[in-house]
Amino acid sequence: MRHEWRALVADRAVVTLLVVLAGALAWGLFNGVRWQGYQGQVIADALREEQARFARAEETIAAARARKATLPAFSDPGNPDTAGRNFAARYVTLPPSALMPLAVGQSDLLPGYFKITTDAEQTVLATSDTVNPLQLLTGRLDVAFVLIYLYPLFLLAISYNLLSGEREQGTLALTLSQPIALRQLLAGKVAIRLVVVLGCVAATLTVGCLAVGVRLWDPAVLLSFAGWLWSRPTACSGWPLRWPWRWAGGPPPPAPSCWPAPGWR
């Protein structure tokens, strides 16, 4: 294990891959923070518009009463139908969570606010923000995307030659001449690579979250962060390590839950 650790640290390709992985995680976290700020700003603007609309409606009603004037039904805030359709409409909001920078999800498709009115159902369902459809199609590169789609590729890159490299160099037979089984040797190689990669992921995300202001000192946020950090990277670690384990003669680890099933469409 100690020899494997030294060989791994001395490999410049592994160090380069870890730097690239840390950079991809940092960029995904940066994108998540920007989207979290945008969502919060949009919700704040919607609530300010609501309060300004209420104030204008009250001023209109007060001015009409002072003049003892009768307003048209379509512009009278005191009319129940008009008020329900426009002046008295309320916003229902879903504020961004503390860990939203880690996973944007479908928040770009499903806005964090909705305007509740008494208008017809077709009119209500047709209201949406104007967004570039190409941007919605490609999605946003966040930390969840990096861990689900790119992280297994990094594991493949540093573990594709677990045994083939030593076999080509002629050191595998010499190693197996010692009192060590092939599965034990493979388990040690896999374990040291998982520790290195998972340590890089955990350190990058912890430092990044603290740098962007995520309240990791809050017990609830810290517990959610720890559970998310444990479930995603570890679940996505099984898929790229299935085939070396099967090559060694043992049953492969279970398929990761973060990847679609073979029949998924």
User: What is the DSSP secondary-structure string of 27-78?
Assistant: HHHHHHHHHHHHHHHHHHHHHHHHHHHHHHHHHHHHHHHHHT----GGG-TT
d(CA 42, CA 82): 25
Query: Which tens digits make up the pLDDT trace of 146-194?
Result: 888 888 888 888 877 777 777 777 777 777 777 777 777 777 778 888 8
Judged against a pLDDT cut of 50, whether residue 221 lies above it is answered with: yes
Residue from 216, 225, 208 nearest 30 by CA: 208
Q: What is the pLDDT of residue 24?
A: 92
- Identify the top-confidence range among 28-32, 133-137, 139-143, 247-251: 28-32
Residue 92's beta-bridge partner residues?
A: 114
Query: Which tens digits make up the pLDDT trace of 105-117?
Result: 777 777 788 888 8
The confidence band for 253, taking pLDDT boundaries of 50, 70 and 90, is very low
pTM over 0.75: no
DSSP for residue 85: I
Q: What is the pLDDT of residue 121?
A: 56
SS3 91: strand
At residue 224, φ and ψ (nearest 5 deg) are: -65, -40
Output the average pLDDT for the chain: 77
Residue type for position 71 = L
Q: What is the pLDDT of residue 25?
A: 92
